[in-house]
Amino acid sequence: MKRYAWFIPALVLVTAVLVYPALRTLALSFFHLSLGNGFRLEFGGLDNFVRLVGDSRFRASLVVTGFFTIVSVTIEFILGLLLALAVNGFVRYQGVVRTTLLVPWTLPTAIIAVLWGWIFNDQYGVLNELLIRSGVLHSPIAWLAGPNTAMAAIILADVWKTVPFVFIILLAGLQRIPQDLYEALEMDGAGAWAKFRYVTWPYLMPFVFVSLTFRIIQAFSIFDLVYVMTGGGPGGATETVSVYAYQTLMRYLDLGYGSTIVVATVLLLATVALGLYALLVRRYERLF
């Protein structure tokens, strides 16, 4: 028993920080608890979930979140894979290159949001200044005030920060591939594409699963980058599910319905993660 006593502080901490809030959120999703009813805890059953299905603002935020997730994760995965393939060929300066590329990932997201907010600022932003001086623009553009440009700015900021995360995971996978497999293919006259198709990609599948799963979860639940840069605007064009949940919980003080939004998001992410597992990991297991 003394051996297990060491785990008690960690268990208490995990329960206090993770388990209790999660169970509390799940429980609140079945109750009405808001400023409108004087914060009286009233059991509502599935009322909040029925309301969620008919909530047009939630559906709009779901579309925004899905678009952001698909576009940003796709770009990040492609760039991360290309960088990993390129850096994997380096021998002497691989450590320096790897450390340099990881710098954006180590910075807090809120700081990155402020940084990119300054870059895209319509009055004193660096981007407008460069484009005007180079003759591309004649007057500044309010990048964060237009629906399309605001979303593009957020995606660019997110890609800049998180490509290193995908890169380092895929690079670790590349370095675990036995080199004799490539040598065997070279003896058979195989080219670069054949090596990638028959060796690199199959062996990378578990690492692809890890990187995509983490990135999809992070992208789908993105909050701080969006909230600092645009606040979900203009006109809800960049309002993700997390921003909507925050507004519901903290601005409108509807704790029951806000908890329902959080629970629905977690269930959706769990479904996506299981789908990725079935698609990638099981295919890897069949190959090996």
Any idea what the CATH number is for the domain that residue 85 is in?
A: 1.10.3720.10
The answer to the question of residue 178 being in a domain is: yes
Q: How many distinct structural domains can be found in the chain?
A: 1
Residue 73 confidence (pLDDT): 96
The answer to the question of residue 141 being in a domain is: no
The answer to the question of residue 282 being in a domain is: yes
Predicted confidence (pLDDT) per residue in 25-41, tens digit: 899 999 988 888 888 88
| Residues 152-173, mean pLDDT to the nearest whole number | 95
Residue 195 confidence (pLDDT): 83
The answer to the question of residue 21 being in a domain is: no
Predicted confidence (pLDDT) per residue in 201-234, tens digit: 888 988 998 899 899 989 999 999 999 999 998 9
Residue 41 confidence (pLDDT): 86
The answer to the question of residue 68 being in a domain is: yes
Predicted confidence (pLDDT) per residue in 42-76, tens digit: 898 899 999 999 999 999 999 999 999 999 999 99
The answer to the question of residue 51 being in a domain is: yes
Instruction: Give the residue numbers spanning the domain of 223.
Output: 45-89+162-287
Q: Are 265 and 62 in contact (CB under 8 A)?
A: no
Q: Which of 18-27, 158-167, 195-204, 271-280 has the lowest mean pLDDT?
A: 271-280
Portion of the chain with pLDDT greater than 70, in percent: 94
Residue type, 116: W
User: What average pLDDT does the chain have?
Assistant: 88
The answer to the question of residue 234 being in a domain is: yes
The answer to the question of residue 260 being in a domain is: yes
- CB atoms under 10 Å from CB of 259, counted, come to 23
